[in-house]
Structure 1
C-alpha cells in the first residue's frame, strides 16, 4: 500500500515537473499583423472601379489595430496616380490620406513616375512613412529614395526593403525616368538580405514587380523568392493579382491584394523563441469592407478635398458648338463623335498606328458650349492609362470580333477606333462578324505587326480581351483623360464628327458587293472595300 502511494506521488511529481519544464521552455511567440494594399491607382471614393473606398478601408485597419498590439500597414505601389481626385494635385491628395491612415511604408509603382522622378522625391518628402526603392539609382549612382526601414515592436525586429519594377523605364513617360537606373531585382534583394539579416527577426520585401506572364521572368517577384533565401514575406503589386492565401515559393510567401482597394490583405507573422517564423495570409473582401461604416475622420478629409476641387474642375479648357455624344444608348451601339474625339486624342498622345477602346470606358456627353475639366472626369471616370502594344493583324481581328460579339447589343464592349475602320455584319456567327478592316487605308494583314494603343483595362485582358495579354507592352503614354485634355487645349474649338470608322455592313452571298451604313445612321451606300 505504501509502495503504491509512493509510486503515485512519484508519478505526480514527474508529470508536474514535465509540465513546468515544458512551460518554461515553450517558445515566446511574438506576433506581427501585416496589412497590405497594392495598385490602388488613386481610387479614393467608395465604388471607384468597384473598390470599397479609403474611408471604409480605414475602418477595417482601425478595427484590426484595436484587436492586435503590433500592426504594420504597407502599400506595394501604384497608389498615387490614377483618378483625377489624386492627379489634380499630382499625388499630394493621396499622400495626405495615406498619412491619415497610418501607413508604415510603401514602394513606388511605375505609375508614380508618371509625375516624373523629381515629383516622386517631393511626394516622398510629404509622407509620414518611408517610400522605399533600393534598386532605383540616379545618374551619379546615388539612391533616389530610401532603401529600407527597420521597425521594433517590443523587441520584435522587422526590416522592410523596397524594389521597383525595371519595367518603369518603358511603362512610364521617358521624360519622367530620364537619367534613372533600375537595378536587377534579384541582385538587389540579395544585397538587402546580406545587409539586414543580422538586424531583423522578420524580413519583408515590399515590391512592385508582379507575377504577370508578360513580365520578363527575372523581373517577377517569384524570381526573388526562387533565388534569394532569407525573405519571409514578399508584399507584391503591379500585376493586380488576387492571391487569397498567398503564393508560396520555396520558403517565401508572396501576397497581393488585387486592385483598387477591392480587398485588404492580412498576413499573420509569428516568431517563436527558436527564431522560426510562420506566415499565414488571407484577404478581407470588398463585400466585408462595404458592410462597415466609413471612418468619419477620413470621410471628412475626402469630402473637403472633393469640395475644394470643384472650383478647379470648373476650369474651361475648350469649347464645342455641337453636342459630343457619349450617351449610353448611342456610344455602346455605334460610332459617335465623342468616341472619335477620345480615340483621336489617344492616337496623338501615344504615337501608335491605331487605337481601340471599349465603349464602356466613356460615360457622359458634352452639351454645346464650354468644355471643363469636370466634363473630362464625367466622360472618363475610371482613371485609365494608355498602353501601346505590338500585336499581330490576326490578334487585332480577334480583338475586333470580341468587341462585336454581342452587336448590336449594348454591353459596352464595342470598340471605338482611330487610325482604322471596320465593318460588322451582325447576321454572321460570333467570330465571323468583322470584315473590311483597313489600317491607314490599307487592308489588314494577318501576319503583320501593328503598334496599337488601348487603355490599360483592355490591355490587361478586360472585357474578354485575354489575347492582348500575350503581346508585349511597348510603352505607356499617360492617362486617357490627360491625353484628351491636352488634345482639347491645343485645339480649343472641338467639332469632331462621325466619319464611318464603324459600319454595319451586311455581306451578300457573293461577298462582292454589300449594302453598308454608318452604324446608327440612315445613310446607306454601296461600298467596294476589300473583304478581310
Structure 2
C-alpha cells in the first residue's frame, strides 16, 4: 500500500490531480490479519488516505457482516457501490450507491458498480443476510439508458470476473470501459470487445492499472492502458502512508510477527490446478486428525511462503475464520464432490463458474474436460487404492465447505465423527 500510494501520487502529479479518478473493483477489506483484527478499518484508513473516488463491493467485502460494511463506508468517506446488490426489505440498492456521476474538464462520466452475482456461494451467508445478488446484465438494462442520457462516458466498475465482463461487453453497445476484478487477471492492452475497452489490474495491490481516455466532441475515441507492477525493490514507499501503516500495526506487532515456521523452499498457491500450499495444509490436517482425505476450497489470493513464516503470512493464505470439521462420507458422495468441482470450472454457462479447483490430499483422480459434465471423473484412488462407492471414508475439511461453499452441498450429508 505504501508503494501504491507513491505510484498514485506520481500519476496525479503527471496528469493533474483534478483529471484522475481512483477506483477499486472490490475485495479490499480483508485477506489480511491486520484487516481481520480491525474488522476492515485498517485497510479503509489506508484507502481514505489515498483519496479513493468509488469502489465496487466484492464478495469478500461482506466478511465482517453487512452492518460492518455500512460502518466502513461511513469511516471511508467515499462511496461503495453494487447496482446488483439489492436489499430484500427495501428493494433498493444496498448502501444506495449503484453508480457515481463525475465531471472532469466538462466531461461527464457515469460509473456503474457491479458486485459478484455468486457472492452467496463464496462466503458465510449469514454475513449477507437480507441481500439479493442479481446478475449484472439485469440491472444494466435499467441503469444504462438513464446514465447514457446524462453522461458522455459509461464505465462499469465490475467484480463479476473477466469471463462475465466479456459477455457484458458483447451484450451492451453503450459501455465505453469495463474495469474488472474478482478473477485476479492482469489485462492492460487494453482488450477491446464490441467497442468496449476491458482492463483489470491483478489483485492484492500488486498492480496499479492506469487507463487514459482520449475523447473528441465528448465521445471516446480510444483508450490507452498500462499496468504498473509494484515490485518492492524497484519502487519507493510513500512516507506518509508508511507512517500510517506503522501506527496501525504497532498495537498488534507481537501477534502479527509471531514466527510460526520456516519454509526452506517456496510454497506457492495455485487456483485452477493443484496447489502446493493446500496440499501441505491438507497433509497436516489428515495427519493430525487421522483422516483419509482432506478437502479445501480452491481460492486465488495470498502470497507464496518462503523463509521465515509469520502469523500474518498464514492469515494472507487463510484469512477467513472457519472451524475444522470431520465427517464420514461414502465413496459415492466423494465422487459427487469431485464431479461438482469439474462443473464449477466448466459449467457450460460462464456466469455459473465459481471458485477454483477443489484442493485435496489423500485422493487422486483423472479429470477430463472433453467429456460432458457428470462423466469427467475417473480412476479415483484413496491413498493408492481404488475408491469404493459404498465404503465410508474419514474426511477432514472446514465449516465453509459444510455450509455449501462453492456449491459443495454434499458435505452437509456427511456424519460427523
Q: TM-score, normalised by structure 2?
A: 0.69
Is 1:74 the counterpart of 2:18 in the alignment? no
Tell whether the 8 Å contact from 2:282 to 2:294 is kept in structure 1 after alignment: no
Aligned partners of 1:224 and 1:158: how far apart in 2?
19
1:144 aligns with 2:94: yes
Give the conservation status (yes or no) of the 8 Å contact 1:109–1:238.
Answer: yes
1:87 maps to 36
Gap regions ≥5 residues in structure 2: 268-275, 323-333, 343-358, 365-378, 410-417
1:309 and 2:249 aligned? no
Deviations 1:108-149 (A, max 9, x none): 111112222221111122212110111111122122121111
Correspondence list, 1:48-67, <5 A: 54-67=1-14
Match of 1:178 in 2: 129
Residue 62 of structure 1, CA deviation: 0.5
More strand by share: 2
**1:267 matched residue in structure 2:** 211
Structure 1 residues 269-309: Cα deviation after superposition (integer angstroms, max 9, x where no partner): 0221263442122111234x642321000000011111122
Residue 112 of structure 2 aligns to a residue whose secondary structure is strand
Secondary structure of the structure 2 residue equivalent to 1:260? coil
Please say if 1:278 is aligned against 2:229: no
Q: Show the 5 A alignment for 1:355-366.
A: 355=295
Deviation at 1:361, TM superposition (A): 6.7
1:239 deviation in Å?
0.5
Pair 189,253 (structure 1): closer, same or farther in 2 beyond 3 Å? same
Q: 1:274 to 1:163 in 2, by over 3 A?
A: closer
Please show how residues 265-414 of structure 1 align to structure 2 within 5 Å: 265-273=209-217, 275-287=219-231, 290-310=233-253, 326-328=261-263, 354-355=294-295, 376-377=311-312, 379-383=314-318, 390-392=337-339
Q: Distance in 1 between matches of 2:256 and 2:220?
A: 54
Q: Is 2:153–2:220's contact at 8 Å kept on the other side of the alignment?
A: no
- Give the length in aligned residue pairs: 342
CA deviation after TM superposition for structure 1 residue 194, in Å: 1.2
SS at match of 1:197: helix
In structure 2, distance between residues paired with 1:437 and 1:223: 40
Please identify the structure whose Cα radius of gyration is greater.
1
CA contact (8 A) 1:114 1:172 kept: yes
Deviation at 1:83, TM superposition (A): 1.0
CA distance in 1, matches of 2:4, 2:262: 33
Give the whole-Å Cα distance in 2 for the aligned partners of 1:347 and 1:97.
43
Measure how far apart 1:150 and its partner are.
1.1
2: distance between equivalents of 1:144 and 1:285?
33
Structure 2 Cα separation of the partners of residues 226 and 277 of structure 1:
19
What is the 5 A alignment of 1:441-480? 443-444=386-387, 473-474=406-407
The RMSD of aligned alpha carbons is 4.4
* Cα deviation, residue 356, structure 1: 5.8
CA displacement, residues 61-87 of structure 1 (integer Å, 9 cap, x when unaligned)? 101111113001110011111010211
Displacement, 1:257? 0.7
Preserved contact between residue 158 and residue 203 of structure 1 (Cα < 8 Å): yes
Structure 2 CA distance for partners of 1:174 and 1:85, relative to 1, 3 Å? same
Q: Is 2:100 the counterpart of 1:116?
A: no
**Given that residues 347 and 355 in structure 1 are in contact (C-alpha distance below 8 angstroms), is that contact kept between their aligned partners in structure 2?**
no
| Cα distance between partner residues in 1 of 2:293 and 2:29 | 30
Is the 1:202–1:277 contact (alpha carbons within 8 Å) kept by the matching residues of 2? no
Structure 1 residues 109 and 337, CA gap change in structure 2 (3 angstroms): closer
Determine which of 114, 123, 138 is the counterpart of 1:163.
114
What SS does structure 2 have at the residue aligned with 1:67?
A: helix
Q: 1:379 to 1:342 in 2, by over 3 A?
A: farther
TM-score (norm 1): 0.55
**Rounded Cα–Cα distance in structure 1 between residues aligned with 2:406 and 2:289:** 16
